[in-house]
Amino acid sequence: MGKRAVITGIGVISSLGGNKNTYEEALRKGISGVGPITLFDAASFPTRIAAEVKDFKMANIESPFNFNKDELAPDRRVLFAHAATYQAVTDAGFDFKEIAEGRCGIIMGAGIHPIISRKENIMLENLIYNIIQLNDYNSEQITLEVSKKILDRKEDSPIWVPADYGTVSIAQVLKLRGLCLTITSACAASSQAVGLAYRKISRGEESIIITGGYDSMIFPFGVGGFCMLGIMSTENEHPEKAVKPFDRKRTGLVLGEGAGSIILEEFSHAKKRGARIYGEIIGFGNSQDAYSVSAPHPEGKGAIMAMEKAIQDAKIITEDIDYINAHGTATLKNDRIETEAIKSVFGEYAYNIPISSTKSMLGHTISAAGILELIATILGINGGFAPPTINYKNRDPACDLDYVPNVAREMRIKRALSNSFGFGGQNSCIVIENFN
């Protein structure tokens, strides 16, 4: 029998709050983090709204060691990762020097984020806007045009920050000399990072792992790229109502940003030091659609496989799952296919499971989505509630399950499933159990 992996610390930076307490309060109240984009001038884009992290200041990041914040300043998502991780370590009751030099690893999910000069910004923005105006979303044309512009760049053109920069810089600041990995599997990245951390601990390879993810795609090339896919909501006049997962009148996703970190710890290690335990990871499943870069498998084969694997790994039956935090992007295809996949796995019992999409409040935080949604699930388990799917008003016959509409539901959750289904058909599901 493998070793047990328990959660002993939580850190959150999101559009709903800058720590786990404000995050939980917003989830309970069903608050939307979506508003007008302020990080750049989005006037020329079809979608001009996003779920931005508000009032985030570099000076507010508390670090146990001296480090050069100016080196991290250009990359917003890296700062999020640092802030969430320091919160998680402190919340776990560790002295930072306890984990320095010791057997503490770090596994994070992340995306690729370009730092672009103002001149390059304008050039790429105009390119994207022109393609959108032509109503031509041919991916081959877009790839060739963007590649040509980047290859012809001048000295002031993009600097591509390595995807692992956040992970590595945290390891350097905290003096972590254990395992250090970054997962870059798009929307499934941070969920897969947690799953891998769980595997490492259950096999006895590590005792403590900092895990989670970080991302922000709220910059011209990021927003423009998603606009070109034709999956973004354009309800700019009412941003807080724009994201409507599973609703018959859903109009697409809205981008969000943020970071989440948890401390995953081997149970006997946590028990020995008297740590508070939020829950236990008991199952992990992943899969690949092998179908499309941007669309889910039409029969949900990958999603079905990932859910089945997670439940099998947890050594439970489907009726043991009390709640599902859905991927729930508010796109026409995803919500219908995810609903069908859940029904395929759970059968008639699917109609008895409360299911919610916290993306209705957070937006789609891409590589940070899995961890922020898993943390929402953890907080729900500990707080005795299921977060709501806000903006749900119109029942879709193709999405006919219980989506915890609009208002958080007080309930006891013993075991929950958190779904993350990423671009490229990468799927990851985690089963978490209440420790009490």
Determine contact, residues 281/431, Cβ cutoff 8 Å. Answer: yes
CA triple 213-214-219, angle to 5 deg: 155
DSSP 19: S
Chain centroid offset of residue 436 CA: 26
Length of the chain: 436
For residue 330, give every residue at least 6 positions away whose Cβ sits within 8 Å of its Cβ, in sequence order, or none: 233, 243, 244, 245, 246, 247, 250, 251, 252, 253, 254, 357, 359, 360
SS3 159: strand
* Active-site annotation, residues: 187, 327, 364
- Helix intervals (H) in 277-425: 301-313, 332-346, 359-362, 369-383
SS3 234: coil
What's the CA gap between 187 and 179, in Å, rounded? 23
The structure tokens 């990995």 sit at: 181
